[in-house]
Chains A and B, each alone.
Chain A
């Protein structure tokens, strides 16, 4: 980041560099004062918790505090990897993240392409506005809707199933249904607002391309297939890589509301496990160790996504 010139300057004479820095600081003192709250915030609340991570290597007890609790090395990690928890959580987190990515990803793109084909301004605008609505609703409300709709006694889905003469399904109590429920409700929530990005990409396509195609006798489908879609492909790829990098960041707030001991076997992910072990069972050290492992895996995923993105000639994600 530093230029060769500044590096050479650093080697040549330190004192004058220090003096220059001091002068720079003095010149920017007002800005620095304005920056203090921000700096304090980041140091305390974003870097401060890293100190608390120490307990992953200790047997933390509330009475002894973080520093005085005894060191135990990798005990919690060993317990985690040797027990059943690791395999289960890893599989669940990966499966849920992966399936959600694969199934959810096309919907915002399709919606954007479809909206783009609408010629009636008011209709396009109405559908678009409506499609953002779920993004404004809280996860509690969304889960409440899910539970209501799937209720075995009065839920509309089961009413339809019964109308066809079948037995009602206890959707939220059945393992096989957890992932579909999670993914479908995610699509419902995010489709509209994620389409914004693709609509903007479509708006950026050179209109003369369409003119030329029209002159050549292309119909709407041809144009969508050969101009619009290739035009947004770059955005699609960047979004896909970005989402892959964030794949393991499961919406655990939603999982917490939808899962139950009956579905833990497929629904329990790293974060929900950390929450239960740590905050409900007060097993802080073990939970912190699992949390640390999760953070490391997520970090690796993100770095890999960035690497791929750069390799493909696109810009990095940051």
Chain B
């Protein structure tokens, strides 16, 4: 009897509500895709809802010919790849000593780290520090000041702690250095945890606009999100009475850019959701 799909009013209503949730989630994303493929004239008249009207790829052609967008795309790929690599490396190394129960000063180091979750000096002091270090307008400003996320560090440390210590001990007795133990034994066994925190770092870099916006001055260095944000502010005619068709012309272009920026995310997310859920859970247990 268990699990027998009995069709009741309860399950019907429940199912319909969930279909509603699914549609509400999917539709905005679908709409962006549809607009990006539609003729601008129809979009401006508000005639595009479910399917593209005047189907064409003009917006995408325009994106590719644009002076800023392809470059911003490459910038984003570069920042994300290098940034995530540095994040993962720093976190993987930092979590290892902290996971050793009798590590010298472990308690104090942990206190030093945990305290930072409560102290948030704010935008201005961080900015002044980055400025002082001469990192303004460099890619490093996006990576180094956030090289380790405390939350992900704690997640990884807990993961290391949950691993069996016997291989480690054996390697130590055989005279292997800690460095070797970490890179040859611990890291290969930590792939699921690394994938999980790597996903969060990846999403953090790919989607960030605020830090690049305040730390980068040269528009040639802008990542995609900052360019998108500029397009958004540009079409801000939406918010005043000054709306005219000309201000809305970049609509399809903007949406095509959004679609292109979402592609990598949409491609990885069905596969990555396992790691995503795992990360949320690890975080919740620790938090």
CB distance from B277 to the nearest CB of A (A): 5
Question: For residue A98, which residues in chain B have a CB less than 8 angstroms away from its CB?
Answer: none
CB proximity of B234 to chain A, nearest CB, Å: 11
| Number of residues on chain A facing chain B (CB within 8 A) | 104
Asked if residues B148 and A151 are in contact (CB atoms below 8 Å), the reply is: no
Binary CB contact string for chain A from 100 to 141 against chain B (1 if under 8 A, 0 otherwise): 000000000001001101111001001101111111111111
Contact partners of B265 in chain A: CB under 8 A: 136-137
Q: Is A86 positioned at the interface, with any CB of B under 8 Å from its CB?
A: no
Query: Which one of B25, B28, B46 lies within 8 Å of A153 (CB-CB)?
Result: B46
Q: Which residue of A lies closest to B265 (CB)?
A: A136
Tell which of A9-17, A87-95, A226-234, A256-264 binds the partner: A256-264
Given contacts A49-B128, A139-B207, A291-B121, contact A127 B22 (CB under 8 A): yes
Tell me if A287 is interfacial: C-beta within 8 Å of chain B.
yes
For B171, the chain A residues whose CB sits under 8 A away are none
The distance from the CB of B117 to the nearest CB of chain A, in whole angstroms, is: 7
CB of B127 within 8 A of CB of A220, answer: no
Q: Is the CB of B232 within 8 A of A140?
A: yes
Cβ A197 vs Cβ B280 within 8 A = yes
- Shortest CB-to-CB span from A222 to chain B, Å, is 11
A245-285 contacts to B, CB under 8 A, are: 253, 256-257, 260, 262, 271, 274-275, 278-279, 284
CB pair A42–B207 under 8 Å, yes or no, is no
Q: How far is it, in angstroms, between the C-alpha of A288 and the C-alpha of B129 when the chains are bound? A: 13
- Complex CA gap A278/B96 in Å reads 39
A123→B93 CA distance, assembly (Å): 41
One digit per residue, 1 when the CB lies within 8 angstroms of any chain A CB and 0 when it does not, for chain B 16-53 equals 01110110111011011001000000011110010000
Asked if A45 contacts B207 (CB within 8 A), the reply is no
Q: Identify the closest chain B residue to A263 (Cβ).
A: B239
Given the interface pairs A123-B15, A262-B239, the reply to whether A295 lies near B28 with Cβ below 8 Å is: no
Say yes or no: is B120 at the interface (Cβ < 8 Å to chain A). yes
On whether the beta carbons of B22 and A130 are closer than 8 Å, the reply is yes
B173 interface residue, CB < 8 Å from A?
no
Residues B104 and A24 in contact, CB atoms below 8 Å apart: yes
The residue from A27, A66, A119, A144 contacting B5, defined by CB atoms under 8 A apart? A119
User: 8 A–B contact pairs at CB < 8 A?
Assistant: A35-B103, A143-B232, A144-B228, A197-B281, A200-B281, A214-B1, A288-B124, A303-B118
In the A-B complex, the 4 residue pairs with the smallest Cβ-Cβ separation, listed nearest first, are A291-B122, A52-B125, A38-B94, A138-B207
